[in-house]
Amino acid sequence: MSIELFDFSLSKKQEKRATNLHKESIIIDMLYQGPMSPPNFSDEITEKLKKRCKKYKINPDKYIIRMMIECWEMAATGQLDEFERCWRDSGITAGNRQITGGTDSGSMEDSILWLTMAQRQFDSFDWLIKATKAEHIKKAKSEDKVAGFVTTQNTHWMGTNLENLEMMYKFGLRVAQLTYNMHNNVGAGCTERNDAGISNFGVKFIKKMNELGIIVDTGHTGRQSTLDACEISDAPVIASHTVCKAVSGHARGKDDYTLEAIAKTGGVIGLVTLPQFLNQEKERADMNDFLDHMDYLVKLVGIEHVGIGTDWPMNMPKFIQAKIASYAVSKGGFREKDKLPGTEGLLGFEQYIEAINITRGLVSRGYNDKQIKLILGENWLRIMEQVW
């Protein structure tokens, strides 16, 4: 397994600068599916996973969820040798540990399973710090460790009891995406046919997040719900992972007005590395498409409001990743026209160990050291310091 350096035609001096920057910087991925990627799962490990999950095949929904959870459990029990190496080789200082798979079909039971597996990872590795404060991420960097922070991509599984939100905060929840793609108790998602805003309950939910110190995330949240959240929240609002609709036209993207509204709260917008979201016209999108969104966003909202939230590739073997697209269409509110990738990755970012290509790309586009450090992680760190 080796790192493929994308061809940015950098000089030797630029390559050295990018290498040093990547090593020195606090790098935070706000939607981190890693650290492993499909190529990191051997045939032997893949077969083990299939055997472990065979009993769930009768229920396709549970099968995919359990496959993802089993990957986490194998990591926590030391059965994935590449887990630590991939994280360290990527250079990513901190990434989220999700307690939902994102779709609207999950339950409290599923989320507790996710939470249990996340906690087992924190308990199993002395090199992995559970971050509930920004200081924990700084500590991880200074001690040559990495950090994980607990997030959810949906809130529907908590129902309408705000005590559930408070309970999850006590377990470590620090970032909550208000909706996935569809309607839930809080508001509407980005692929709904109507553009409903935040509900009456949603107002209470957001205020409770502010009170506890949970970051308000609008990654998959619909336009009006996002604008409402920006108005309701007393703390900065983020979009952990999205794209610029003006650049690619994709439904998962956000228009200029919405992106500016998020920035006006003091928030940050993270860019994904899903190829179809970045460019719907190319047969195969690459790092330059990612950087085109980056350049556009920086010019639109300012360097202080831009970060990364890669969301792809998935931390699982190829055969599971291939099932995700059909599952997300049937259960997650995506549509065929959204062109979810199967096993295809972004050229230049097909594995998390290739994260240095983000830093190299920023060097190639002429950003200075201070600007690059802001994008790679310092902007996210600022939000964590304010909210957590």
CATH value at residue 106: 3.20.20.140
Q: What is the reported pLDDT for 299?
A: 98
Q: What is the reported pLDDT for 102?
A: 56
Please give the tally of structural domains in the chain.
1
Q: What is the reported pLDDT for 103?
A: 56
Residue 208: inside a domain: no
> Angle at the Cα of 329 (from 323 to 335), degrees rounded to 5?
135
Residue 220: inside a domain: no
Residue 65: inside a domain: yes
The burial class, CB within 10 Å (0-12 / 13-18 / 19+), for 109 is: exposed
> Residue 274, CB half-sphere, CA atoms under 13 Å: how many?
28
How confident is the model over 232-288, as pLDDT tens digits?
Answer: 999 999 999 999 999 999 988 999 999 999 999 999 999 999 999 999 999 899 999
Q: What is the reported pLDDT for 69?
A: 82
Residue 5: inside a domain: no
Neighbours of 133 (CB within 10 A): 14
| List of the chain residues with pLDDT < 50 | none
Q: Is there a contact between 218 and 237 (Cβ–Cβ < 8 Å)?
A: yes
Range of the domain at 287: 12-170+245-387
Residue 161: inside a domain: yes
